[in-house]
Amino acid sequence: MVERRIPISVKEAVMRVMKFAKEGKKEEVSIYECNGRFLCEDIVANHDVPSFDRSAYDGFAIRSVDLKGASKEKPITLSVIDEIGAGQVCQKRIGEYEAVRIMTGAMLPSDCDAVVMFEVVKEGRENDQPYIIIDHEVGKGTNLSFQGEDVKKGKVLVEKGTKINPGIMALLATFGYEKVPVAKKPIIGIFATGTELLEVDEPLEKGKIRNSNAYMIMAQIERAGAIPVYFGKLQDVFTVSYEAMKEKLASVDILITTGGVSVGDYDLLPAIYKELGAEVLFNKVAMRPGSVTTVAHLDGKLLYGLSGNPSACYVGFEIFTKPIIRRYLFSSKPHLQSAPAILGEDFLTANAFTRFFRSTVSWKEDGLHTVPSGVDKSNIVTSLAFANALTILPSNSTGYQKGERVNVLLLEEEEGSEWPWN
Ligand SMILES: Nc1nc2c(c(=O)[nH]1)N[C@H]1C(S)=C(S)[C@@H](COP(=O)(O)OP(=O)(O)OC[C@H]3O[C@@H](n4cnc5c(N)ncnc54)[C@H](O)[C@@H]3O)O[C@H]1N2
Ligand code: MOO
Ligand SMILES: [Mg+2]
């Protein structure tokens, strides 16, 4: 008699996996190599930005008090006693009715409190001494960029676990991070199991298929921020598969297999977990696709038995493996980001299990819309190419109608969610 498996809810299954979530190791990499990596420490402003008051325009630094009462009828003349470009510092004292020619970004001389742009003054020269005539009052602080206006020292700017993007690169450089503290990428091993599998360079044969899961999972691992190591495919032969898994487990942080987790005669993973002495966290989840997803635990390492069916394999990874990788990368929002969306098509079949249909979401005037990205069956591979979301349809007996509000999990969004399963 075949083993009867009792399905547990997706939420329960994710909770069981997340009990093993931990922050990974840290390393420092050159700023040249950190784009796309995940910060393992918060980035805190270690000084004010800007760190001095500076001119926001090309013009003249003045003392606003000198221009009190200036008007068209009563213009005021200031003697220009120095000139500074960005990076230069004025060494002179600026006295009554004196000004300094100043360029954008240059430090405001300490005796001045405002800048007037070139465009609004009249320039002249007498006895080789330049002067300016101004016909209006200028308020204190005009045309300045103030110390700390951008950010004040001590502020937490970017939290650990955030993926470094071009804007964060600018912050790292601003605060002098020549070396950047990032999470070490976990190493995820992959075996594709199945006697029917051909490698990508092999011609098709009767009864055989090309192994697509390994390449898909490698790309999903990279998208999650980890390093995939593909150990090749395994025939459905117990001793060979067992020995190979046992050997490679030592060299990885997580081991993924695809296929062989259901109840078929050649589904060997349940017996392999037993022989390895691994604790199986679950082997049936009330979800489709991916109901056979199995996760086991051995000596601090997780073993993922993802389904052989491509769509089930894909979804199993995104729901159960990605958050473990993201926690490893220090994220406090490790799960896929969830968002409300409007169902773009009827989905009228009853669901005994929660359904995650591979979807294409797009913005319209009234919000995010979701439509299937292809046929909704777990053995389908083509729908995956166009999926940028998984639409969650909780189990019900009536199905769902076009226009209904649903939740989607966004596959490409960098910022995840803390817990999308409530
Ligand atoms: N009696 C039952 N049969 C099945 C059940 C069940 O509950 N009772 N569950 C079904 C569900 S649901 C799924 S999903 C599949 C899961 O099968 P396995 O995870 O055991 O995977 P395999 O049997 O090895 O393969 C399934 C399918 O996927 C193809 N495959 C396998 N590896 C790859 C690969 N690397 N690239 C592309 N395609 C692959 C394989 O050829 C099979 O067609 O079980 C149902 N059966
Ligand atoms: O695990 Mo299966 O994907 O539910 O079709
Ligand atoms: Mg099977």
- The string of DSSP letters for 86-150 reads TT----S---TTEEEEE-TTPBPPTT--EEEEGGGSEEEEETTEEEEEE-S---TTTTEE-TTSS
What's the pLDDT at 138? 98
Residue 9 has which token pair?
Answer: 């809810």
Q: Nearest-CA neighbor of 303 among 239, 256, 258, 262?
A: 256
The two structure tokens encoding residue 223: 């998208």
Residue 339's Cβ-side half-sphere holds a number of Cα atoms within 13 Å equal to: 21
Among 3, 208, 263, 307, name the best residue to mutate to test ligand 1's pocket (greatest count of ligand atoms within 8 A of Cβ): 307
pLDDT given at position 3: 83
Residue 43 CA to residue 411 CA, distance in Å, equals 26
Tell me the three state secondary structure of residue 220.
Answer: helix
Cα(340) to centroid(ligand 1), Å: 31
Q: Please give the number of the atom of ligand 2 that sits closest to the Cα of 307.
A: 1
Would you say 158 and 88 are in contact if contact means Cβ atoms under 8 Å apart? no
Q: Which residues pair with 156 in a beta bridge?
A: 44
3-class secondary structure per residue, 341-388: EEECCCECCCECCEEEEEEEEEEECCEEEEEECCCCCCCCCHHHHHCC
- Distance (Å) from CA 213 to ligand 2 centroid: 15
Q: Which residues have any ligand 1 atom within 6 Å of their CB?
A: 192, 194, 196-197, 209, 211-214, 258-264, 267, 289, 291-292, 307-310, 312, 378-379
Q: What CATH number is given for 28-47+158-183 in this structure?
A: 3.90.105.10
Q: Cβ distance 304 to 256 under 8 Å?
A: yes
Provide the residue ranges of all domains of the chain, joining segments of one domain with +. 10-25+185-328, 28-47+158-183, 54-145, 337-410
Q: What is the pLDDT along the chain (422 residues), one digit of tens a residue?
A: 788 899 999 999 999 999 999 999 999 999 999 999 999 999 999 999 999 999 999 999 999 999 999 999 999 999 999 999 999 999 999 999 999 999 999 999 999 999 999 999 999 999 999 999 999 999 999 999 999 999 999 999 999 999 999 999 999 999 999 999 999 999 999 999 999 999 999 999 999 999 999 999 999 999 999 999 999 999 999 999 999 999 999 999 999 999 999 999 999 999 999 999 999 999 999 999 999 999 999 999 999 999 999 999 999 999 999 999 999 999 999 999 999 999 999 999 999 999 999 999 999 999 999 999 999 899 999 999 999 999 999 999 999 999 999 999 999 999 999 999 98
Structure tokens at 298: 């051995």
Q: Which two tokens stand for residue 79?
A: 């003697």
Burial 77-113 (b: 16+ CB within 10 A, else e): ebebbbebeeeeebeeebeeebbbbbbbebbbbeebb
CA 376 – ligand 2 centroid, Å: 11
Beta-bridge mates of residue 98: 79
Quick check: ipTM above 0.90? yes
Do residues 106 and 55 make contact, with C-beta atoms less than 8 angstroms apart? yes
Range 10-25+185-328 has CATH code 3.40.980.10: yes
- 112 with 166: CB under 8 angstroms? no
How many whole angstroms from 300 Cα to the centroid of ligand 1? 27
Q: Is 422 exposed, middle or buried (0-12, 13-18, 19+ CB in 10 A)?
A: exposed
- The string over 120-148, giving b where at least 16 C-beta atoms fall within 10 Å of a residue's C-beta and e elsewhere, is ebeeeeeeeebbbebeeebeeebbbbebb
Distance CA(235)–CA(164), nearest Å, equals: 40
Structure tokens at 286: 């009330």
CA proximity to 198, closest of 221, 232, 229, 242: 232
CATH fold, domain 54-145, is Molybdopterin biosynthesis moeA protein; domain 3 (2.170.190)
Rounded Cα–Cα distance for residues 324 and 220 (Å):
13
Structural domain 337-410, CATH architecture = Beta Barrel (2.40)
